[in-house]
Structure formats: C-alpha cells, structure tokens
Structure 1
C-alpha cells in the first residue's frame, strides 16, 4: 500500500502547523489520556473505553509493524515545534470489512475546533496518492458524529450512502455514513484550491541520518 519511503521510522510529514511522525512507546500516556476519553472512544471502531495502557502499547507496536511492512501508515499528530507532544493520530490502512485503503483519525478534545484533524488528514491523503499506487480511499463516520463528517467533506470525500459499520470496540455494528475519494478528484481539488486544499504535497522529511527516540 505504501512505498519504501514511508517504511522507516524517520519518515515524517510537515504541514503549516503540524508535524506527523511514527508513534512511539513514549506516546502511551498521551494516547491513554486523550483517546481514552468517552467522547473520543465511542466514535471509533477499535478504541476501548477506558483505554488500558497495555492496549495503547499494543496499538503502537501494531502500527509500527504495519508502517514497516507498508500495509498501512499510522502517524502521530503533534504541533510543529513540539514533536514529543502527541495530540491525536491519523492513519490509512485496510478497512475492517472491505480491506480497501481506509482513512481513520482522532484528535484529543482540548484541540478540537482548530482545524488540526483536517490539516493532518489532508497531509496523509496527499502522501497516499503521491507515493502509493491505489486510486481510491474510503472512510466512514458514525451518523451521530457530524464533526468527523465535516473533516471528510473538507478533504473532498464524496458521500456514498449510509449503512452499518463494524465497531469491534463498541461490541457490534452501528449506523455510519460512508465516503469515497479517488485520485482524480483529489488532484482536481488541489488544482482548483477547493476549500483551502494545499496545492503542493505536504513537505516530507525522511532523512536517513536522523534517529528518533522510541
């Protein structure tokens, strides 16, 4: 799904306000504190509530393994200038039901309302289409989560209809809105500058000299 460029833990994406990097074990407490909030967890497919530290550690190990083998790309969202301060997570990986590339994200409640989720999602989407070979990306949002739907719409996703989505951490299937974004639509949106989409890919830093603390 992702090329060699993204498969080293020095890979990162930089946007105007954010620095997106591989998750580390040092992020466990931030993930437990932020993702473990009921307002966050109940909108996701895989995050339990409460969120035990051992589950957060397992998530980090699984994410790093997926990043390393190219089956997905999960990145910690951090403010620019504060790369050790995780405020959320954004990722693309195989969907639970379809296996197709699917976008997912969450952002800690103290950071809502500032456009960070949209900014992070756009950067990863741009990397997905710029460096990968797949031509479409899927996403879903619970019907009672209008904030997530707005993020997807701002990223150019087209509504495909409503249905049930499997949410293992919630114990079953729940109503969700389904969305799709293809390569042609993304390139058109970038060219037109629609809804503030960046015209160039987010800057990438995958320097081989840098070592990160895990």
Structure 2
C-alpha cells in the first residue's frame, strides 16, 4: 500500500521519516513510555532510526501497519505518532509530552478511524484499541474517538519482552458510534477523576 496523507482542522498526518529521528528518540525516553508502551526501553537513537528507516516504510508497503506522524503543518516537526495494525485494525498512538492535553491526539484518532472504516483499509468494519490498565490519557483519547469499552475474557497486552502479559483495557469502534460508547468508560474514567 502506498502511504496516505490525512488532514484535520489542526493537523497534517503523514508518514514519519528519518528526519524525525531526533524527536522520536527524545519523546520515546519519557518514563510513561516505559510504564505503558511496548516500545524498546531504554529507547535509543538506533531504535528510532530502525523504526523510521525500516519498520514504517516496510509496514506501509506490506499493509501490516499504517503509521502517521502528527504535525501542525506540512513539513512541520513531529508531535506524535498514530498507527493502525492490519491484523485486527488495532489503533495505537503516542504523543510527545509537551503536546499532550490539547486534544490533538483525539483529533488524529478520529481522522484515522474514520478513514479506516470508510474504506481506507479494505474490509475493515471495526477498529480495536487496547492499553495497559491505568493509561488514563489513552483511554480518554479512545472515548473521544467514539470507542466503546469492552471486557474480553483475556484482557491483556504482551510485555515489552514478549515473555508475559499485563492487564489491559479494550475498546471497539464501528463506523457509527455506538450510543453506549461514552458511558462505557464511566467506571474507569470517573474513578481516575
């Protein structure tokens, strides 16, 4: 698949490139990444270069994972990353610390989900989301993007090294937002307030 660019009211979404390596390296050294994400830890410049130089272009070409950089304008600095993994159409994302709390990731998530479900990924009728339990910021993005929280029997995510699992939250989004979606988050988001 060829890379696809998307635009929102405040963002340009395009594939991250090698020139983004410095920012990816810096952002991915955030202690929250160690706690909540499965990115390598400690995260190095070599990890960023492998991600940008090999993983992103190869995954677009194969269609296995479609990854976008969030930018304020064409050619602007990278703010964060969002992707859809082909196997289950699973949404994943992260944002650089100084860009959080502005609703930018929610805006990007809505754009990516709507593009996916409108035929961007052939045959996609649902998009899934999951995060390590406790990742309130990610849960807020999923809720804002219209995801409905679900509780599968095995609600886990693999550990960084792949040798175990961590408890996780799950959600799903269809083309039309389920009227129960927002309320499905009450138990975890009200408890965190």
Compute the TM-score of the two structures, normalised by the length of structure 2.
0.82
Quote the residue 1:55 is aligned against: 47
SS in 2 for 1:128: helix
Could you tell me which runs of 5 or more consecutive residues in structure 1 were left unpaired when the two chains were aligned: 195-214
Q: 1:146 Cα deviation (Å)? A: 1.0
Q: 1:12 Cα deviation (Å)? A: 1.2
Could you tell me which runs of 5 or more consecutive residues in structure 2 were left unpaired when the two chains were aligned: 183-193
CA distance in 2, matches of 1:22, 1:41: 24
Deviations 1:134-159 (A, max 9, x none): 11111102221111111101111111
- Aligned pairs for 1:57-96 (under 5 A) are 57-60=49-52, 61-80=54-73, 83-94=75-86
How many residues are matched?
175
The answer to whether the 8 Å contact 1:42/1:170 transfers is no
Q: Which has the higher contact order (CA 8 A, sep 6+)?
A: 1
- Aligned pairs for 1:120-131 (under 5 A) are 120-130=108-118, 131=120
Quote the residue 1:26 is aligned against: 19
Stretches (4+) displaced over 4 A: none
Select the residue among 123, 127, 134 that pairs with 1:137: 127
SS in 2 for 1:168: coil
CA distance in 1, matches of 2:132, 2:151: 12
Select the residue among 119, 122, 136 that pairs with 1:146: 136
Pick closer, same or farther for the CA change 1:44–1:170 going to 2, 3 Å: farther
CA distance in 2, matches of 1:178, 1:117: 18
